[in-house]
Structure 1
């Protein structure tokens, strides 16, 4: 059988393994609070939609911190631009752990570096049938329990002092 190319995710603004770009940080840290540009390739056969998440597993909450949960991107989508608006009608976005719809960037407490995991999830359904007004756990459950595959990269950010 021929080898299949892996499902991959990249960003020019915040490459894998980098420090989160200043424009992705919240305004309180001097940023612009813009979601990074994302592009992905080689989604698995049977993909009918995508979801995007950004998660900080190092947040001192006992369960991490969700910065972005978006879903119902059509299967023809292979990228998102820098700064996806909170009211973008081409996808659904949940309230994040800041209590705001859409993306909000890093704002860790001073101390050790935090990891920010940006992921794209390939889904076998056109819609996960979750109301954006529901708590984001409903969307995350639908995404993670149905995904055909996911791809991600991690960037870091640290507040010192």
Structure 2
């Protein structure tokens, strides 16, 4: 009975230690889970007239073993059969834990010292804002920060969004996502 009590005590201790550990979290001053984004995050082009600014993002409590980060923004509701990559940044230095609004725009990439953009589905290596077809209803935009187990993902210069996504997911040890919404009536 004493052995059983000792084992139960150890299990309780282990469970409480693991549940009290801080989890990898993503927050933003600009976007909120399940809420509509502002027009400042709408694409400028393809009939959209937004400011095309990436949102502020801040992440905390990266797991042990994190060697770099990646950021992705994806619309699974785009009528393409494969969704739409709005943003992919890889090889973000592990010391980076926050980026300002507009950091994904052309000319605002000083924070990308070791990192690089992958071409979005608009064909540009930068953030490309929301631009769902008019009248297509609500689209979900999944902004995800990935804690990676490698310092550098080796990708070809013109890597597709699918290839980059595969390599990011294959090397992710933790992710945190904010799913924001957008529609054009």
TM-score, normalising length from structure 2? 0.82
Contact persistence 1:93–1:132 (CA under 8 A): no
Residue 115, structure 1, aligned to residue 135, structure 2: no
Gaps of 5+ in 1: none
1:29-84 alpha-carbon deviations (Å, 9 max, x no partner): 33110100100011111000000000000011111111001010111111111112
Whole-angstrom CA distance in 2 between matches of 1:30 and 1:134: 28
TM-score, normalising length from structure 1? 0.93
How many residues are treated as equivalent by the alignment?
A: 160
Gaps of 5+ in 2: 1-13
Q: How much has 1:141 moved relative to structure 2?
A: 1.3
SS at match of 1:144: helix
Partner of 2:171: 146
1:68-126 alpha-carbon deviations (Å, 9 max, x no partner): 01010111111111112336242210111111111000100122200000000000111
RMSD (Å), alpha carbons: 1.4
Whole-angstrom CA distance in 1 between matches of 2:52 and 2:42: 5
Partner of 1:92: 116
Equivalent runs, 1:9-48 vs 2, <5 Å: 9-27=26-44, 28-48=47-67
Which of the two has higher C-alpha Rg?
A: 2
